[in-house]
Amino acid sequence: MTDTTSPAPGVADDAAAASALRAHVDALFPALQSDLESLVRIPSVSAAAFDQAHVAASADVVAALLRDAGLPDVQILRSARPDGSPGAPAVVARRLAPQGAPTVLLYAHHDVQPPGDAATWATDPFEPVQVGERLFGRGAADDKAGVMAHVGALRALAALGEDLAVGVTVFVEGEEESGSPSFLQFLTDHRDALEADVIVVADSTNWKVGVPALTTSLRGLVDGVVEVEVLGHAVHSGMFGGPVLDANTQLARLVATLHDDAGNVAVDGLVVGAEPEVDYDEAAFRADSGLLDGVRLAGEGTIAGRLWTKPALSVIGIDATSIAHASNTIAPRAAAKLSLRVPPGQDPAAAEDALRAHLEAHAPFGARVTWKPGEQGKAFHAVEDSAAMRAARAAFATAWGTEPVDIGVGGSIPFIADLLEVFPAAAILVTGVEDPDSRAHGANESVHLGELRKVVLAEALLLRQVAGLSGAPA
Ligand SMILES: [Zn+2]
């Protein structure tokens, strides 16, 4: 990234800067941990049933942290949700780029999931407790550690004292755990303030303790309801049963055509991506999912491929006569809600067309099959050879001493699609502080402090790389 052999005046070379930054991160880490603990003590649950004063309080604390980290322009902002109600408070903090220099947007969220049943926690969810190298508490990983990664990187760079030619915008959302309902409106309302060349989303996971990862793919989603009708009205099962198959049975037969005998999705025309470079250990997968002894895994190929690069289709709801209301009649209609996860490279609209065509072509016994579309969400696949991605890989490799791996996530991060829609030219880097033991959303959530330290260093290195120091003014 530099075309000269000596760095610009006042700017250390990369190796010297990396070791100086590492020393700064080590020196500032105790204070950073203490600030993370203060954030964890604020029960900023964004779910509607919880007191939203705590979400406002955590926004205030995050704003103060960003102001103290040297960002001159800090605001707490809200946008309207689709129903017209105000969204949760988000913090936007900026330091403008010098003329011609790039801008990096650093994303995290300060709201948390509800704690769930307190009896399932070994410690108080909102009183941080360090055990060994892990700090336990709700939000300690997801995503208050993401907030502190941004704060820590800015503190470390300030301690290094270079004049970086890069604009920094930190955007800390307050309702990610409630589905980001005002996110798209927020991006639209504050488009100019949030516009960036590189977007770092610190809300995902690393591969394991000691091995960093970039999340380069997320599956998209198509859902909807398939309805099967066989009769104009219910009839007596003794008088008509035999020649007429009830709608519940016909729906079951139709649903059964959606997978082959091995458990692969059997809908023609769906994209199947390449196998990932890493795999999920089967024993760990069985334990993590709570699969019962003796239940076999469905589908073929690697487990990671089945989760990240292949489609998955689930029945997530059924409308049928309940057992309590069952009578000896032949059901005239039944319906199922289907949820189809689609891999990167699959257009959700095309996937929905394929699913609808499959359902119509497999109507059992000529039953009337209708499809009612639901939601669609786009899959995400990072541009793997962008300058920003190369800079991120180099920063991770320096911070951990080992190359990062590319991972996928089987679910979606809905706001990534919103970011892509509003900022199609930005390079989006999905990073994070979690590891497989972090138990985000579950009881006994924790962050590995050694990993958090590396994330802080990696992010500081990344910002310095993006600044393209060779061209910076002295
Ligand atoms: Zn999160």
pLDDT for 414 equals: 76
- Distance (angstroms) between ligand 1 centre and the Cα of 94 equals 22
Q: Which of 7-11, 337-341, 442-446 bottoms out in mean pLDDT, i.e. has the lowest? A: 7-11
- Distance (angstroms) between ligand 1 centre and the Cα of 113 equals 9
- Distance (angstroms) between ligand 1 centre and the Cα of 160 equals 30
| Local confidence band at 11 (pLDDT 50, 70, 90 cut-offs) | low
Q: Which of 116-130, 285-299, 460-474 bottoms out in mean pLDDT, i.e. has the lowest? A: 460-474
Give yes or no for a contact between 143 and 108, defined as CB atoms under 8 angstroms apart.
Answer: yes
In the predicted structure, residue 38 carries a pLDDT above the cut 90: yes
- Distance (angstroms) between ligand 1 centre and the Cα of 175 equals 10
- Distance (angstroms) between ligand 1 centre and the Cα of 203 equals 5
What string of H, E and C letters represents the secondary structure of 225-274? Answer: EEEEECCCCCEEHHHHECCECCHHHHHHHHHHCCECCCCCECCCCCCCCC
Number of neighbouring beta carbons within 10 Å of residue 385: 7
Catalytic residues: 111, 176
How confident is the model over 134-157, as a mean pLDDT? Answer: 98
- Distance (angstroms) between ligand 1 centre and the Cα of 263 equals 31
- Distance (angstroms) between ligand 1 centre and the Cα of 469 equals 32
pLDDT for 472 equals: 40
CA distance 182 to 85: 9
| Local confidence band at 5 (pLDDT 50, 70, 90 cut-offs) | very low
Cα 12 to the chain's mean position, in Å? 35
Ligand 1 ion: nearby residues, β-carbon < 5 Å: 142-143, 203
What is the C-alpha end-to-end distance of the chain, expressed in Å? 17
pLDDT for 2 equals: 41
Q: Choose among 168, 150, 159: nearest CA to 20.
A: 159
- Distance (angstroms) between ligand 1 centre and the Cα of 237 equals 51
Structure tokens at 48: 């509607």
CB contact set of 8 (below 8 Å; sequence gap of 6+): 469, 470, 471, 472, 473, 474
Dihedral sign of CA atoms 64, 175, 388, 452 in order: positive
HSE, side-chain direction, 13 A CA sphere, residue 374: 15
pLDDT for 107 equals: 98
| Local confidence band at 59 (pLDDT 50, 70, 90 cut-offs) | very high
- Distance (angstroms) between ligand 1 centre and the Cα of 179 equals 10
- Distance (angstroms) between ligand 1 centre and the Cα of 435 equals 13
| Local confidence band at 287 (pLDDT 50, 70, 90 cut-offs) | confident
In the predicted structure, residue 3 carries a pLDDT above the cut 50: no
DSSP state of 208: B
